[in-house]
Chain A
Amino acid sequence: MFWIFASPWIIGFLVFLAGPMIFSVYISLTEWDSFNPPVFVGLDNFVRLFTDYPLFWRAVGQTFLYAVLAVPTTLAIGVFLANLLNKRIKFRRFFRTMVYLPVLVPLVATAMVFMMVLAPSGPVNQFLGLFGIDGPHWLLDPTWVIPAIVMLALWAAGGATILLLSAMNGIPKEFYEAAEIDGAGPMRQFWSITFPQITPIIFFNLIMGMIGAFQVFGQVFILTGGGPDNASMMMVPLLFREGFQFFRFGLASAMAWVLFVIIMIFTALAFKTSKRWVFYETEVK
């Protein structure tokens, strides 16, 4: 009976995941353009990736740069705002909604708005102009294109904020009472109580956020297509280009496996460090 009820997942697992994964190993060992039959080439695709495809490694590096810029900053903003929202404030609901709204905006709509906002003579540069700063051409400038894409991630920092806010809520008030009796000020209390208490959650989200950031696609594809001059080319957009624009299925699959290994390393890291808290409460006997 169990197997009948569970069959949707089991069939889905075999047809949409396990099967394709095995298939993917095979594809990565072939040269295949979808029009002609596949030709088995052994590890050629991987050899090519590692020795003769500098753009791939550039994309890997730029993806890391994006992740390193976007994720910790998002979490830092999240901690900062959550700490403010955790105080006894009026209009908490209002402020929380304001901060959270951008998270609800679909990525494509976000990209469209930022395309306007970050235009060379757009609002951001007009604002910078008020302070006498001659803003860069953001999406058109190789130096500033990745920071510009990072801005989209920062705009959605409300997600991290809400999560960290609820974590802060779970800290027993007794800790703060004790600290107050000891004469600790709010700053001291934040660094000695609040921050250490939420560190595990910050760390878990740091790693999960990095994993998500490695897979960034839509904003790059829509805003820059990887340009200018490949300055914002990242792993998944490159994989997409090889696979679905150049129809080099073999090479694209080899790329997918490299991406897979990178992500698995980070996942293992997340698990190793989070075993103690992630599923603790919901663990079922």
Chain B
Amino acid sequence: MATLTTPTALPSTPGTSAAPPADRRRTRKARTLKAFKATPLTYLLLIIASIVFFTPLIFMVSIALSSTRTTAAGAFTIIPQEFYWSNFTDVFTATPLPVGRFVLNSVIIATTSAVGQVLSSSLVGYAFARLRAPGKGTVFMVVLATMMIPGQIVMIPQFIIFQNLGWVNTFLPLIIPNFFTNAFNVFLVRQFVARLPSEYDEAAQMDGLGYFGIYRRIFLPMMWPILTAIAIFTLTASWGDFMGPLIYLHRQELMPLALGLRFMTAVTNELQTPAWNLVMVGSIILTLPMLVIYFLGQKYLYEMSISTGSAGVK
């Protein structure tokens, strides 16, 4: 029972997940079980679903390619009729907002956050997996317990603390906490390291490496799959974060793109409407890196999302 329903025990490589194991394929190659037989209806439903899910993305592109006049009149169509590629440069030059800065700010905040998480979670996860200390088990229970605490509870006290540190209107409140890892990433690294054979430590110890040497020379290189997943996860979360910047960054030149986009909808153009075509260009700029990261790191991200066992309803 347990193995059937354990999220982490499931086959997890996207490309192969659907295929039955090789031995089974050999013996029962010829026939498909009724439950798995695809009918024309199956394809019809999948095609409809694909269209429904894809349509908003088409509109995003279509509006991004429309002229300001067309967009203001709401006259855009699903298949683009106009191709104002200049919108993709206008977004940086033709609005009163520093959109280029928005992008740069997003990049700075997201990458430093990811570096912080990778460094700190690898160190702490290694400690929980390999080092000994009295009370370690209890501390780990606390780590797990903190995963359940909703962030809103510390939103206001953290703001007061950071305000007193003079960190409002700096990137620090968004970046620094990442250098102190989080429970979930500690958990992931610990589980990963715990599965590595202990011969590595023993051999390294005989070679005279200290704990830090073992961590840096032996384990850090072996952790890269899980650290890649953590880096992707942090990049994604930080890049898309709206609430954190909204609380801490009140000056336009400091805002990341996710927050800046909202301000683009508050600025009107010569037609007295927000420049929705440029907002859509901004949305595309916000979305594209996520698609690229996902397709480059699909394997790791997928494993990670499976191991959380949560569908993550937005």
Contact = CB atoms under 8 A, between A and B. Distances in A.
B146 interface: yes
Is chain A's interface secondary structure helix, strand, loop, or mixed overall? helix
Interface in B68-119: 74, 78
B287 A15 contact: no
Contacts, number: 346
A29 interface: no
Interface string B166-195: 000000000001011111001000110010
A257 B157 contact: no
A24 B154 contact: yes
A65 interface: no
Interface residues of A, number: 129
Q: Interface residues of B toward A: which range?
A: 35 or more
B240 interface: yes
A158 B305 contact: no
Interface string B145-175: 0101111111111111101000000000000
B148 A264 contact: yes
Nearest to A276: B2
Contacts of B45: 84
Contacts of B46: 81, 84-85, 89, 95
A117 B291 CA distance: 21
Interface stretch (B129-137, B198-206, B223-231): B129-137
B177 A12 contact: yes
Interface in A144-202: 152-153, 155-156, 158-160, 162-167, 169-173, 176-177, 179-180, 185-186, 189-190, 193-194, 197-198, 200-201
Contacts of A24: 153-154, 156-157
A13 B63 CA distance: 45
Nearest to B57: A101
A23 to B, nearest CB: 4
A163 to B, nearest CB: 5
Contacts of B59: 113, 116-117, 123
Interface stretch (A3-11, A42-50, A52-60): A3-11
B156 A173 contact: no
Interface of B: 1-12, 14-15, 17-18, 20, 24, 32-38, 42-43, 45-46, 49-50, 53-57, 59-60, 63, 74, 78, 120, 123-124, 126-128, 131-133, 136, 139, 142-143, 146, 148-161, 163, 177, 179-183, 186, 190-191, 194, 211, 215, 239-240, 242-243, 246-247, 258-259, 261-262, 265, 276, 279-280, 282-284, 286-287, 290-291, 294, 302, 305-307, 309-314
